[in-house]
Amino acid sequence: MYKWFISHLPQTVAFKENKGCLRWSTRLMSLTNDDISWYDRAYDTVQIIDSCGEFSNVPLLGTCGGISYNPILARRQLGFPLKDKPNNILLEGVFFQEGKDPQGLKARMVRAWRKIHKKGRSELGPKNCIALEPYTTWVRKRASEYLMPYEYPRPTPLVVVGPSTLPNQGVIDDPDDAWTSLLPQSSKFWKRRCDRLAKEKADMEAAYEREVKRLRAAYLPASRASRDP
């Protein structure tokens, strides 16, 4: 998973070296649409596993339990366009912990992998890794519902190696417009934070002034008394 994740990130020297020792959260939030390597043509002829057995998505099993994976959200990385809001049933969340499986999900997941449903160009259409407006509108709405007040820093200029392998039509390219429109609650979030910091600053200044006055009141009379004959 780590190697797959890294393969989509910029391969520029500035990003890879990270001389500023920036945290991953800062580095990732500074990326724009054009910084991401969305698709590798090596997958042009590959069919994708779209679902398994009775599940509308792909169940994944691990040593500590199981969880569902929604390949419909990864179609752009697989070379297919994201055109519209996904059907809710395709985003169904399935989860269980080892030893806590009252619904028998583990056995159902094992059976599901005996019947794999694949899709390719004949079902999903021609390859074109783009995200159209109806889909990005849905993403903005979900971001608003889940209140994701992500900060948008640009720590270092990234030199983009070149355009994406496939055209990025219909995608938000302006980083400021992208994150501002994606996070309509962000202005309120940052206003509350600024107000809180301003209050903390005012409280600290007031405490400092009180301490200065206390010290002056305590030491100045003693200092004057020691100088008097």
Q: How far is it, in rounded angstroms, from Cα 207 to Cα 148?
A: 35
Q: Residue 131 forms beta bridges with which residues?
A: 82
Residues 6+ apart with CB under 8 A from 29: 150, 151, 152, 153
CB 117 within 8 A of CB 90: no
Mean pLDDT of the chain: 75
Of 12-16, 109-113, 172-176, give the range with the top mean pLDDT: 109-113
The pTM assigned to this predicted structure is 0.52
What per-residue confidence (pLDDT) applies to 179? 43
For residue 122, pLDDT beyond 50: yes
Q: How far is it, in rounded angstroms, from Cα 183 to Cα 152?
A: 11
Q: How far is it, in rounded angstroms, from Cα 170 to Cα 152?
A: 22
pLDDT in tens, 52-103: 999 988 999 888 899 888 888 888 888 888 888 887 766 777 888 888 888 8
pLDDT in tens, 33-51: 777 877 777 777 888 899 9
Q: How far is it, in rounded angstroms, from Cα 66 to Cα 111?
A: 13
Domain boundaries, the chain: 41-70+90-128
